């Protein structure tokens, strides 16, 4: 079995481990080697161990089917890449194997094994949230024990015990007082007290630093308990009154909070009780429905309880929704039209419009939705909603009209809306089998935003109507010259694509993207089409100061490592030199990653002497950069974890 474990360390050097984990994680892992305990192996060929830290973390590493290192740790960092605990376990395991020490087989009943692999599906429940039935059983058990404990005590003794507890613990006194008020119907006193509590709670600063585990959070548990007690006693109106004040003040508190949503969730729990009380209030069904809609309209911070199907309640019939139509319609009429740049006012109007559309639909007046949307389209700029509704209603002609009109209205200042409408025109053309028009819109997408994605979509559309060779030639010419094939005065016989119904008037130059030849896109396409010779030519032909999009030069180097190793070497060297020129220790460490790749190529092609020459030149040219010399020392050593 130790042979299986040794596979983990096959060809693994300290430098490749450093590259895999990252320099900082690697260094921190080195400082954790003395905190590794119970190092073991599994029957599946993995190593496992505990690593002490803020807590004891279970850690395991193995090779996957592709031979890549695969690690898991129960620390918070797990899931974001290799952690320091993984590095520490690998270093300790390698040391023990080098010393010819056997690693014991991990028992499936051992705590370490169970922590790593047992009950994975139940972790969520097991770690933080006990099963509800278990909570109830524990509570019932505690009640039974207390009942038995108090059973033999007399009335006076029980009274004395209760008084003593109330004097020592103010919360007990409060519970006694509130229970008496509820029992004797003193609801107004409870409401006054809870209103004061709401004002005190909502005036507190709400913040929490999850990294430090520090913060100040208002405790809404008591308020929630008292609201529920009022509901249980049938005081729905009192709960509604308190809930409205909590809602108003809570929104202001949450707006200023910095607590990862903790306060919003606490208020939401209280509002859930208010929702339960709603059917038992003085409000009519229509008023209840409007109350719910208003809360949804005011909910900027996802505080309102997400009660599934709350608006699907059969008690809200077409009659109630029809009454809601009247109220919401009047509100919409009273709202002034938003100014051109008034985003917030337009957003609020759109929210109100959406609820009015819902009310029309649920009141059986769906035929009034489209006229309403057409009436509001200039105010809300909801062209997409209108178009989608028309398409769903089986009116593609009118949908096309509003796509074109909306595009013309929005393309200058609301390019996102315009692009979405152009996309819907393409979908309409697709549904109607007008594939020449589909190709025209794919071409517009490409010319507006050249990318691997838009190029591929254009190719697929052009291939469907058998015009790809001409389209490809024209698009590549555009990337070389910046001249669209459909420019004014162009010979359209060279561009077999029909004119689209809408076309953006602005150019890439407006956004500061005018730069031709577009070396990045030309190189991306060459790589996409696996034309490696041409990709190399593009890279070499481009000006030295070309700004390459993130990672594209690395993609080229990776693609030609086997076929054109010298080209890959030049690319890696250029990247490494640029990083070293930053004269920063962190940049030296980044440069090492590319130097390692160079070393691999030199080793694979039998040119180790050339690799040593590269290192020698770097030492000569940068001999005063001590941190760089340390990086080069490690690179030259290239020591394996185990021989």
CA distance 402 to 406: 6
Classify the phi-psi angles of 512: left when phi > 0, otherwise alpha if psi is within -120 to 50, otherwise beta: left
Q: What is the pLDDT of residue 122?
A: 43
CA-CA distance, 569 to 595, in Å (whole number)? 9
Q: Which of the residue ranges 13-17, 315-319, 621-625 would you say has the lowest mean pLDDT?
A: 13-17
Contacts of 178 (CB under 8 A, 6+ apart): 190, 193, 226, 229
The full 3-state SS of 513-535, as one line of letters, equals CCCCCCHHHHHHHHHHCCCHHHH
Closest CA to 368 of 413, 328, 418: 328
Instruction: Find the mean pLDDT for residues 578-601.
Output: 92
Is residue 510 pLDDT above 60, yes or no? Answer: no
pLDDT band at 132 (very low <50, low <70, confident <90, very high): very low
Q: Angle at which helices 519-528 and 552-560 pack, to 10 degrees?
A: 40
Write the DSSP symbol of residue 22.
-
Q: How many CA atoms lie within 13 A of 435 on its CB side?
A: 12
pLDDT in tens, 416-454: 999 999 999 999 999 999 999 999 999 999 999 999 999
Please give the DSSP secondary-structure letter assigned to residue 258.
B
pLDDT of residue 173: 67
pLDDT of residue 125: 36
Residue 183 confidence (pLDDT): 66
Structure tokens at 193: 């007290």
HSE (side-chain half, CA atoms, 13 Å) at 622: 24
Instruction: Give the number of other Cβ atoms within 10 Å of residue 144's Cβ.
Output: 10
pLDDT category of residue 129 using cuts at 50, 70 and 90: very low
Read off the pLDDT of residues 59-82 as tens digits, 9 standing for 90 and up.
Answer: 999 988 888 899 999 998 877 789
Per-residue pLDDT averaged across 187-204, rounded? 93
State the average pLDDT over residues 577-586: 93
Higher pLDDT: 127 or 164? It is 164
Give the neighbor-by-neighbor strand order of the sheet with 47-52. Answer: 36-41, 47-52, 56-63, 69-73
Q: Is 241 exposed, middle or buried (0-12, 13-18, 19+ CB in 10 A)?
A: middle
**Summary count for the chain: helices (H), strands (E):** 30, 6
Whether omega for the bond prior to residue 396 falls within 30 degrees of 0, making it cis, is no
d(Cα 273, Cα 471) in Å, to the nearest integer? Answer: 63
pLDDT of 642 above 80 = no
- Which of 8-22, 75-89, 244-258, 332-346: highest mean pLDDT? 244-258
What confidence tier does 178 reach under pLDDT thresholds 50, 70, 90?
low
End-to-end CA distance of the chain: 18
Residue 512 above 80 pLDDT? no
């Amino acid at each position: 079995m130790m042979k299986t474990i040794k596979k983990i360390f096959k060809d693994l050097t300290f430098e490749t481990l450093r590259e895999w984990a990252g320099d900082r994680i690697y260094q921190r892992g080195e400082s954790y080697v003395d905190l590794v305990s119970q190092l073991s192996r599994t029957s599946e060929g993995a190593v496992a161990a505990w690593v002490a830290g803020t807590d004891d973390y279970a850690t395991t590493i193995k090779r996957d089917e592709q031979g890549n290192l695969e690690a898991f740790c129960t620390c918070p960092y797990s899931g974001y890449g290799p952690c320091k605990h993984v590095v520490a376990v690998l270093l300790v395991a390698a040391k023990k194997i080098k010393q010819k020490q056997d690693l014991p087989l991990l028992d499936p009943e051992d705590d370490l094994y169970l922590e790593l692999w047992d009950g994975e599906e139940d972790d969520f429940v097991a770690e933080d949230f006990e099963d509800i039935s278990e909570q109830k059983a524990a509570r019932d058990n505690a009640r039974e024990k207390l009942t038995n404990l108090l059973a033999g005590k007399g009335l006076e003794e029980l009274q004395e015990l209760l008084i003593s507890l109330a004097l020592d613990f103010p919360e007990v006194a409060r519970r006694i007082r509130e229970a008496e008020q509820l029992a004797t119907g003193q609801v107004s006193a409870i409401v006054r007290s809870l209103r004061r509590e709401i004002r005190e709670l909502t005036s507190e600063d709400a913040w929490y630093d999850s990294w430090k585990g520090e913060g100040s959070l208002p405790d809404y548990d008591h308020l929630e308990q008292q609201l529920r007690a009022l509901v249980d006693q049938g005081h729905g109106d009192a709960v509604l009154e308190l809930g409205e004040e909590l809602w108003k003040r809570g929104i202001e508190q949450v707006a200023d909070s910095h607590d990862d949503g903790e306060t919003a969730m606490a208020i939401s729990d209280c509002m859930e009780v208010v929702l339960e009380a709603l059917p038992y209030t003085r409000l009519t069904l229509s008023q209840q429905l409007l109350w719910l809609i208003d809360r949804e309209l005011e909910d900027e911070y996802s505080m309102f309880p997400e009660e599934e199907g709350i608006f699907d309640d059969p008690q809200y019939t077409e009659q109630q929704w029809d009454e809601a139509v009247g109220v919401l319609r009047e509100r919409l009429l009273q709202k002034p039209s938003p100014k051109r740049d008034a985003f917030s006012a337009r957003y609020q109007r759109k929210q109100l419009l959406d609820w009015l559309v819902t009310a029309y639909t649920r009141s059986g007046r769906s035929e009034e939705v489209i006229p309403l949307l057409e009436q509001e389209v200039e105010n809300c700029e909801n062209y997409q909603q209108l178009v989608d509704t028309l398409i769903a209603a089986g009116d593609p002609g009118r949908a096309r009209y509003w796509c074109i009109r909306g595009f013309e209205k929005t393309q200058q200042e609301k390019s996102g809306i315009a692009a979405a409408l152009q996309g819907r025109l393409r979908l309409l053309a697709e549904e109607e089998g007008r594939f020449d028009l589909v190709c025209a819109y794919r071409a517009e997408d490409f010319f507006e935003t050249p990318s691997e994605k838009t190029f591929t979509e254009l190719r697929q559309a052009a291939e469907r109507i058998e015009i790809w060779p001409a389209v490809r030639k024209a698009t590549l010419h555009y990337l070389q010259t910046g001249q669209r094939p459909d420019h004014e005065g162009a010979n359209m016989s060279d561009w077999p694509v029909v004119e689209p119904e809408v076309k953006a008037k602005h150019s890439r130059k407006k956004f500061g993207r005018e730069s031709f030849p577009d070396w990045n896109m030309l190189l991306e396409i060459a790589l996409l089409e696996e034309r490696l010779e041409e990709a190399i030519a593009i890279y070499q032909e481009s000006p030295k100061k070309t700004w390459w999009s993130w990672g594209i030069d690395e993609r080229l180097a990776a693609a030609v490592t086997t076929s054109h190793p010298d080209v890959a070497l030049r690319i890696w060297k250029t990247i490494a030199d640029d990083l070293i020129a930053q004269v920063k220790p962190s940049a030296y460490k980044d440069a090492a990653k590319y130097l390692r790749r160079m070393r691999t190529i030199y080793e694979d092609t039998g040119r180790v002497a050339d690799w040593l020459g590269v290192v020698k030149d770097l030492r000569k040219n940068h001999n005063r950069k001590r941190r760089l010399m340390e990086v080069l020392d490690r690179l030259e050593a290239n020591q394996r974890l185990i021989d």
